[in-house]
Chain A
Amino acid sequence: MSAATSPATSPVTTTAPVPSLTSVFVRLKLALLRNGLRQSGGRTVAYILSIVFGAVLAAAMVLAFVLLRGSADADTVAILLTGVLALSWTVMPLFIPSGDETLDPSRLVMLPLRPRPLVRALLVASLVGVGPALTFVLALGAVLALAHGAAATVLAVLAVPLTAVTCVALSRAVAAANVRLLTSRKGRDLALLSGLVIAVGMQFVNFGAQRLGRAGGLESLEPATAVVGWLPPAAAIGAVDSASKGDYAVAAARLLLTAAVLVALVYWWQRSLVRLMVEPDGSTIGAASDAGAKEKSAGSGLLARVLPGGRTGAVMERSLRYIWRDPKTKAAWVTSLAIGLIVPLFNAFQGAGSIYFACFASGMLGMLMYNQFGQDSSAFWMVAQTVSTAADAYAELRARALALLAITLPFTVLVTGVTAAVLGDWGQFPEALGLALGLLGAMVGTGAVTSASFPYSIPQDSGYKNVAPGQGGLAWISIMGGMLAAGVLCSPLIGATVYLHVSDQQSLLWLLLPAGALYGALLILAGLKLAAPRTAKRLPEILTAVSKG
């Protein structure tokens, strides 16, 4: 830390030039990143992997855009992709792991900073990173595909940075507003709503994709392009397109609109930041007023009476309580439950769905088993203190899996059943449920293994962060690798389903229900058996990993 803060504090003498706040923040960000990577070699590898992945992706996209140049659909693709990019920037701070201490206003409260230079400095600092660089390259690709003529080229030079900056500003403004939500009492329940909004939003993207598939070709997306082309920051790309087609007035309007929206976003962000920094920390106020409601927990016999005794019961009880009481856990659960229900049902109501969409629910819910110990944060020491053998670790992990299954198992059956009812397709219910249960088992099993092998910390003190600085790559590897493994583990079930369909042995399809349930149970058992000795052996390492940040 001292290396990071010294540029800010050392030049106190009045003669030396005071470095601009912006350069201080950029250096702070780089120093934090460097220090985060220095702490562990594995993280460095993960970070480099993510950079390589990003670079390959960027190169592929630019190449695709260049090849698209001159094609009739170039405008549709470029504008819509920019729109999707902006959407993901908006959504990202709410759900995707990001750890950026430089952007956390609670760390800056005590510094004598005025809002305007602060926001400027924060904006520039948040432009440093893999994500913004990738965005810049994509915007560049988009204009490469679109720009024809001198006017368009001039506009393109303006549009590319404008798009990237607007994306980042959008993300920061939403994040700041979201923190205000998360730290206010009412807001904590409102934040759950944002989970639902995202679930519905994903559904719209899904509709678009389906329409694309059905109506054959990109032409069907023309009306969407017309709309998105006026939505900043895609409007900036739209401006380049208009200029290429000679509509200079439209081009100017679109570019100005984007610039205006950027200014508005920065203003909104600044207002949220100022409010965040001068208002009391709502998280404690909110929690304090919770206390009255907790009186009823004196009669908490119900949970305790239903659950088994000993470690299993104690761990299950705590896990289930945390679903309701811990804001981050609660938000994760509500999002998973909502998306798991909405995706299959919307598809079913739309008539385009298949009962197999019900597997989406078990996939989303199974993900909650991932990074179990990270969810404890440094309180994991209380667990570590009582685990000495693989048997202890097995009991601990099994109880956590049981708590998860106590909700997800009935939920999976419910979602599959309701989807079948809406589709009127009870014939496929057994095989779909079998698949869903198999997938749930695979997710819980791999979740247990990744929890033991790739723990990462979820900082508790800030609504901004889901991962400690420098651990983002580790989190992604844990989640992506685990999901991939779960998919592979499910392939025998999928294969059996396909085989029975193809070989016309429909009468045997019901067998998939018991087979899927049994297979899922076996995968959970195997996952727990594999994870338990690893957990018992790696307790201090896990504690260190989950205590960061």
Chain B
Amino acid sequence: MPDQAFDGAFDKAGTAPGEGAVPAVRVEGLWKRFGQQIAVNGIDLVLPAGRFIGLVGPNGAGKTTTLSMITGLLRPDHGRILVAGHDVWADPESVAEVKARIGILPEGLRLFERLSGRELLAYSGRLRGLPGAEVDKRAAQLLDVLDLTGSQNKLVVDYSTGMRKKIGLAAALLHNPEVLFLDEPFEGVDPVSAQTIRGVLERYTSSGATVVFSSHVMELVESLCDWVAVMAGGRIRAQGPLAEVRGSASSLQEAFLELVGANGRSAAGDSLDWLGGGSGAGAGGTQR
């Protein structure tokens, strides 16, 4: 990638001075099909570096599939993906460049759960080739900041959902990645843990790093992100700075419903006329 002069066009929010114009993520014509179903339908995406970026969309929009392909966990059918200027699916050297620069917190994939929290961090840091002493130092600090020190010797299998997300986040941050990908990081997390995660992420982006996270909770995205990409039905419906995507709508939620065309649908009253407390005998009633 040729060095390009700093271009302030992306810098409306005023964060991350010094980031070059090489976007954190550039996706071109990305396409993925599972059997008959097209999960990601030829999307183009440019996510600027140094931002807190939200990838929003309803369940089944293709968010997880997209993130998996961007992070090298799922092979795309077509398309090109550059992370920090390096091709994710090219030769091993380029892949190595990408993998060293990113951190991931996937959704629905396990961790090595029969390790304790501290052992898990020690393991993943060493896998990344960091020196042992450095790993242990960083792990101790991350455990402290994420409020996990008290449970560091407990097996991850015994952790609550919030604790799992936090230890996963710690493992993703351990090698100080340039770009952090988080798939539904707040799903099923209690408010206290969510606040802790939020604090760590805000601190991380303020240092110039990029966070890309997926969510279907619009309020959350609106309060955290300065850049948004809206996905539905395997396509990108809108992308850009938060204010731009929101446009004239009163909230991101409104703008989103308009974008995916779900606003006009009413509560569909008469098709559920049998639904209601105590009036009829359903299947459960007859079984008893």
Interface residues of A (CB under 8 A from B): 9, 11-12, 14, 18, 38-39, 112, 284, 287-288, 290-291, 294-295, 297-298, 300, 309-311, 313-315, 317-318, 321-322, 325-326, 376-379, 381-386, 388-390, 392, 460, 536, 539-541, 543-544, 547
Pick from B73, B112, B116, B154: contact of A384, CB below 8 A.
Answer: B73
Q: Is A18 touching B158 in the complex (CB atoms < 8 A)?
A: no
Q: Is B104 touching A295 in the complex (CB atoms < 8 A)?
A: no
CA distance A460 to B109 in the complex (A): 12
Pick from A12, A325, A381, A389: contact of B282, CB below 8 A.
Answer: A12
CA distance A378 to B74 in the complex (A): 13
Q: Is A294 touching B114 in the complex (CB atoms < 8 A)?
A: no
Pick from B96, B127, B157: contact of A287, CB below 8 A.
Answer: B157
> Looking at chain B, what size class is its interface with the partner chain?
35 or more
**A-chain residues with CB within 8 Å of residue B158 when the two chains form the complex:** 284, 287-288, 290-291
Are A389 and B96 also in contact (CB < 8 A) when A376-B112, A381-B106 are? yes
**A-chain residues with CB within 8 Å of residue B110 when the two chains form the complex:** 377-379, 460
Are A311 and B112 also in contact (CB < 8 A) when A288-B158, A390-B92, A544-B74 are? no
Residue pairs across A and B with Cβ atoms less than 8 A apart, 30 shown, are A14-B286, A39-B35, A284-B157, A287-B157, A290-B155, A311-B127, A314-B122, A318-B112, A318-B115, A318-B119, A318-B123, A321-B115, A325-B115, A325-B155, A376-B112, A378-B108, A381-B104, A381-B106, A384-B73, A385-B71, A385-B73, A385-B104, A386-B129, A388-B96, A388-B98, A390-B92, A536-B92, A540-B75, A544-B74, A547-B109
**A-chain residues with CB within 8 Å of residue B154 when the two chains form the complex:** 291, 294
**B-chain residues with CB within 8 Å of residue A544 when the two chains form the complex:** 74
CA distance A300 to B115 in the complex (A): 12
CA distance A536 to B260 in the complex (A): 39
Q: Is B153 touching A298 in the complex (CB atoms < 8 A)?
A: yes
Cβ distance A331 to chain B, nearest Cβ, rounded Å: 14
Contacts across chains A and B counted by CB atoms under 8 Å: 119
| Interface residue ranges of B256-288 to A (CB < 8 Å) | 281-284, 286-288
B95 at the A interface (CB under 8 A): yes
CA distance A9 to B114 in the complex (A): 38
CA distance A325 to B114 in the complex (A): 6
CA distance A39 to B35 in the complex (A): 8
Q: Is A311 touching B75 in the complex (CB atoms < 8 A)?
A: no
Q: Is B109 touching A385 in the complex (CB atoms < 8 A)?
A: no
Pick from B99, B111, B129: contact of A379, CB below 8 A.
Answer: B111
Contacts A112-B288, A377-B110 given; 13 further ones with Cβ under 8 A? Answer: A11-B283, A12-B282, A39-B35, A315-B127, A322-B112, A322-B114, A381-B73, A382-B171, A386-B99, A386-B129, A389-B93, A540-B72, A547-B109
In the complex, which of the residues A290, A322, A385, A543 has the most CB atoms of chain B within 10 Å of its own CB atom?
A: A385
